[in-house]
A and B are shown apart, each in its own frame.
Chain A
């Protein structure tokens, strides 16, 4: 790998947005293909962040600044990527379920998913079941991820899954769930395809589910 891309990876890991922006521009000036800058520079950095987060070497704040650094680079690349075939790991629709306004966990999952190369459609918080259904129809994602922080909003995950069945879209997506009170057992009970205890594991799970189809 070129020194420039290596430096870009390091800038993302360090969460240095200014530097990540500068090196992204430098990499483009050196004639490195935008898709390569994205995957081998920015995404490569973010995937290291995911591994370190999972290993508890770094914590939420460091992930947030790394994601911000990656985003700075992506914004610079965006006009150059238009029209190029960017190899993505898949598409995931994410949201916090209806009645729940908590989003930091869901946002971390979004960052980690982007960090392993997923295209993320983030529906935000307080997402009604029909909005998830609409997003499935519109974006045709591989996966849907639902988040809930509260024991009192967890049942909405089940209701959302039922809405998928009623709308006839359940078979078209894998559904993963997460959030503080959620566990593997609950995920199985409500008929989700997977559960992850943290954002790093969620990205691994998503990759595995896309591969197995």
Chain B
């Protein structure tokens, strides 16, 4: 088979064409490396690279060095929004901060998790007076065009855009409180629907400015919102279809009307019940296909949806990556590649960001696996 350029390889795989080898994604918002795992990796590889501070405070992930991306023949590079000019992060205590949405997070030693929700007590009327972030803040987009253009014209890598803002449900849970937002959902109250409309409006504006800058140079963009738990849907497929799906349909159409990009969606958990809906609203690639979640095993997902949807990830990070041996990781990665890449439709990546408890040997075994079986 002819050799593909990294960019062609990614696009061909999403179009369900078989390629010389599977495209490999590493880095970005959803397939990156926690700073502790990264420090362990560069020590293990004996690379003279600096230990990095995370660029994302929530997940504590770092930008993997170009030399490592090249070592493992990673096909993608990523573009992401900058912090806005108009908001300075507040730090009420040394280990906590308030983000531009008003959500307070506390550093636990490994991640920054939500401890305070700005709309916990809010009424629907409060949504109109809330100091929402400015989605058009020019700081977010500064320099992105030059970076994306450079990657597009001066490299052969596929260029992927990280998410703009938050997922709608994720933002609701963060601003309202997880339980209260799900209660609002169950009650289908005015707060819930109004919140979703406001959030959708902000995200659409942010995506518009973002894609006007970089849309010509991106091949794909990420959306990110969790709809599943380990055992099933987080909420009913009925309520998903009634409230969440139409708004995501609008967002996906909006994105695709501005730029010629494929849309990747990340949702943790068992979401078998709504995969057809995601296909219907124009999602091209699903991540992570979480293998230990109920009904999400690669064989079964590929068989049911593989002709209409491409996949990203599907390598277990809940048991295999932290607790398996390098041999187990390698064998399982090869097995997943064989299943998922049949007829194209698969982008190789860890099932989530690589966490602090993953031994560097396992990261190397994982990243060596796609090229080990080159045809």
Q: Could you tell me which A residues sit within 8 Å of B by CB distance? A: 15, 56, 58-62, 64-65, 68, 99-104, 107, 126, 150-152, 180-181, 183, 197-198
Contact = CB atoms under 8 A, between A and B. Distances in A.
Contacts of B111: 150
Nearest to A200: B231
Contacts of A101: 106, 108, 113-115
B317 A64 contact: no
Contacts of B114: 101
Output the residue of A68, A180, A198 with the most chain B CB within 10 A. A180
B84 interface: no
Contact of A68 (B110, B183, B232, B355): B183
A60 B113 contact: no
Nearest to B323: A151
Given A60-B182, A61-B235, A181-B319, 13 more contacts: A59-B236, A61-B185, A65-B187, A99-B110, A101-B106, A101-B114, A101-B115, A102-B113, A126-B108, A150-B110, A151-B322, A152-B356, A183-B319
Contacts of A151: 317-319, 322-323, 355, 357
A65 B343 CA distance: 45
Output the residue of B113, B233, B292, B355 with the most chain A CB within 10 A. B113
A152 B319 CA distance: 11
B231 A198 contact: yes
A55 B148 CA distance: 48
15 contacts: A59-B234, A59-B235, A60-B234, A61-B182, A68-B183, A101-B106, A101-B113, A101-B114, A103-B178, A150-B110, A151-B317, A151-B318, A151-B355, A181-B292, A197-B231
Contacts of A99: 108-110
Interface of B: 106, 108-111, 113-115, 178-179, 182-183, 185-187, 229-236, 239, 292, 317-319, 322-323, 355-357
- Rank and list the top 10 A-B pairs by shortest CB-CB distance, nearest first: A61-B186, A101-B113, A181-B318, A61-B182, A180-B230, A65-B186, A59-B236, A151-B322, A198-B231, A61-B185
A64 B233 CA distance: 15
Contacts, number: 71
Contacts of A59: 232-236
B312 to A, nearest CB: 20
A86 B97 CA distance: 45
Contact of A15 (B186, B292, B319, B323): B186
A175 B358 CA distance: 27
A60 B235 CA distance: 6
Output the residue of A99, A107, A150, A197 with the most chain B CB within 10 A. A150
Contacts of B110: 99, 150, 152
Contacts of B232: 56, 59
Nearest to B268: A180
Nearest to A100: B108
Output the residue of A61, A62, A197 with the most chain B CB within 10 A. A61
Contacts of B235: 59-61
A153 to B, nearest CB: 8
A204 B317 CA distance: 29
A36 to B, nearest CB: 28
B183 A65 contact: yes
Contacts of A64: 179, 182-183, 186
B322 A62 contact: no
Contacts of A150: 110-111, 355
A181 B268 CA distance: 12
